[in-house]
Amino acid sequence: MAVIRDIMPAFDLLQPSSVSEARQLLQQHGQEAWVLAGGLDSFDWLKDRIKRPKYVVDLSGIGELRGIRQTSDGGVEIGAMTTLTEVVTHPVIKERFGVLAQGAELAASPQIRNQGTIGGNVSQDARCHYYRAGWPCYRAGGNICYADTPTGRNREHAILGADRCVAVNPSDSAPALIALDAKFVVQTAGGEKVVDAEDYFIGPDIDITRLNILQPGDLLTAIRIPAAWAGSQFYFEKIRDRNVWDFALLNVAAAIKVSGGNIDQMRIAVNGAAARPLRLKAVEQLAAGKPRNAATGEMAGKLAVEGAVPLQFNAYKIPLMRNLVKRAVGGVEVASWAS
């Protein structure tokens, strides 16, 4: 018998008007509460009846969570409920932190970016089709990864950092924020906590049921980008099956400071290769002091994929990742990522 999934399960809709009220509601209801930002990821879960929260906390009425503000140090603070379209079109983001504008603009479609938020984009759940369809996999509390079996479909899955679960992180803005050394502001029961962007995301070795550090009752309120990498040479590239709407097969983001043709400093991250966006620290160290050219890019690309383990249907990701990193570091176009 076919399963009919056309009616969302019932829940109580709570609409706080302030961050303090939202925190109180989330801490009061704990695991029974679901945070609703732009709703693009949430409504998929709810309409398919896979997630059945008792309470949905809608953040759309909290004005203090919206907007982009310049800070005294020359950086910016972005409210978690700021839409991706606002991020893409903001003049300071475009002029000084262009890699984020590039990454956000490549997320989904214009209609979705008008509704989707920066906080939602970095906090969305894994897109593995087994997990999203309600199969009892490791991430859903079961004892098997259906994608990592002889008959599993795993074309979009991990080549690095897999630990039982091989689902990947789907965010396009996440690697750009890591490249910019952004800080995530999280309200917890113990007060405000500020974490580096790369530490906001976690892999299955830490907690197989989550892609980020948020615990029940926690709330991401803002993302702060310091001025340190403003105006650097930026690179962002996303590879996907379709030019709009689609999630990345792989993406790469880099912020590079160059002096006299040589790389002084660099931050580079990829997503779609593992359960969390990966900052490639070994590549950063390799490139430091070397010219930004094809030869350096070649070395960086080879180093980036060391230790990669393909699954049955995703071996293409290894040359893809190698060549994305090669282009980002070398600053040159490559005729074919599969070369």
Angle between helices 317-330 and 294-304 in degrees, nearest 10: 140
Instruction: Give yes or no for a contact between 280 and 251, defined as CB atoms under 8 angstroms apart.
Output: no
Long-range CB contact pairs, 40-43, < 8 A, 24+: 40/108, 40/112, 40/115, 40/116, 40/120, 40/124, 41/120, 41/124, 41/125
Instruction: Report domain extents, the chain.
Output: 8-61, 246-330
What's the CATH fold of domain 8-61? Answer: 3.30.43
CATH number attached to the domain at 246-330: 3.30.390.50
pTM of structure: 0.95
Q: How far apart are the first and last CA of the chain?
A: 48
Each of the 339 residues of the chain gets a pLDDT tens digit; together they read 455 556 788 999 999 999 999 999 999 999 999 999 999 999 999 988 899 999 999 999 999 999 999 999 999 999 999 999 999 999 999 999 999 999 999 999 999 999 999 999 999 999 999 999 999 999 999 999 999 999 999 999 999 999 999 999 999 999 999 999 999 999 999 999 999 999 999 999 999 999 999 999 999 999 999 999 999 999 999 999 998 889 999 999 999 999 999 999 999 999 999 999 999 999 999 999 999 999 999 999 999 999 999 999 999 999 999 999 999 999 964 333 333
Instruction: Give yes or no for a contact between 231 and 247, defined as CB atoms under 8 angstroms apart.
Output: no
CA dist 174 and 35 (Å) reads: 19
